[in-house]
Structure 1
Amino acid sequence: MTEETSATPEQDFANGADTQPQVGIISQYVKDFSFENPNAPNVYQWQGQPQIDVQFNIGSNKVADDVYEVVIKIDVKAVSADRTAFQVELAYAGLFGIRNVPEEQIQPFCYAEAPRLIFPFARRILADAVRDGGFPPLMLEPIDFAGLYVQQAQAQLAQSQPAGEA
């Protein structure tokens, strides 16, 4: 007669089993990039500060077992007197290895923590591109990705509830 025993996670780990949650950055890269300076050289004679509009979006998709790509897309447009001073579009991505993480925690990681980790690199690329285009470097403020994720999740929850429920 054989006796079955169930090992605890600590025992599995001690026996070499790979059961601990693991997350790591595999790679970071520019996926798409564009800098336009449509009114050069006249733009350098314009007076006054341009109005700068910054839009960003985050996307994530599973590219292999335990591998997720997270992309931050940032669009910046500087306009002065209804003329474009410059326009920058950047899609900056990171590949993340995610192993032994509960499924319900993967989306919050991909939309809150992963963008926080790669944003400083995207920010530097934008600042350098704007500076190299002949303008003062554009230093984006830090973004609270976790706060935005929670805010968006709450908005989606509110939309999914029938009217009258709270």
Structure 2
Amino acid sequence: MANGNGAEPANDAAPAINAMAQYTKDFSFENPNAPRSLGPQEKAPNIQIQVNVNAKQVGETDFEVDILLEGSAKTEADTLFKFELDYAGLFRLINIPPTDQHPVVMIECPRLLFPFARQIIADAVRGGGFPPLYIDPIDFAALYRQRMTEMASQQDAPTTA
């Protein structure tokens, strides 16, 4: 059957990722040495950030994806601040083949969540009395490739009794 413009209808809809919801699951910000830590610093602090992505399937086409961001800023003597953020989203994958779902969930979904998590952290650090911390963009594709390589090498490693 032709549609209104004379063209045949498409048999398959285009692949899509729908963000059904996004939310903060857990958040902590610590400023353990305030107000002493709020003064001028002789050197720039050492800032460390760890990123983890977890996902679980919660329905036939639905996945919950979590970005776990942990970080701290320290001087030689003190911790200036620490934070932990578990930011998540519920995503629905439409017309994405099962063989492609894992990389989509682990790369594209966190890429969509990251700007919101980044802003939460920047606002919290600023609210703690420091200049806002804008985390550099994260290459989730490179992280995914690195993790897949690590998992493959662990499977290939001989086991000893």
TM-score by structure 2 length?
0.84
Equivalent of residue 147 in structure 1, options 114, 120, 142: 142
Match of 1:62 in 2: 57
Is the partner of 1:76 in helix, strand or coil?
A: strand
| TM alignment of 1:83-102, pairs within 5 A | 83-102=78-97
Please state how far the C-alpha of 1:78 moved relative to its aligned partner. Answer: 0.9
Q: How many residues align?
A: 150
Does residue 137 in structure 1 map to residue 135 in structure 2? no
* In structure 2, distance between residues paired with 1:45 and 1:156: 45
Structure-1-length-normalised TM-score: 0.82
SS in 2 for 1:116: helix
Give 1:60 deviation, angstroms.
Answer: 0.2
Q: CA RMSD in A?
A: 2.0
In structure 1, what is the equivalent of residue 119 of structure 2? 124
Is the partner of 1:53 in helix, strand or coil?
strand
Comparing 78-87 and 137-146, the one that deviates more: 78-87
Flag structure 2 segments of 5+ consecutive residues without an equivalent.
1-7
Q: What CA distance in whole angstroms lies between the structure 2 residues aligned with 1:20 and 1:144?
A: 25
Match of 2:17 in 1: 23
* 1:110 match: 105
1:3-54: CA deviation from partner (whole Å, max 9, x where unpaired): xxxxxxx8783xxxx7653321111111110111111111123522221111
Q: Give identity over the alignment, percent.
A: 45
Which has the greater radius of gyration? Answer: 1
1: distance between equivalents of 2:51 and 2:14? 33
Q: Which amino acid aligns with 2:93?
A: I
Indicate yes or no: 2:41 matched with 1:40: no
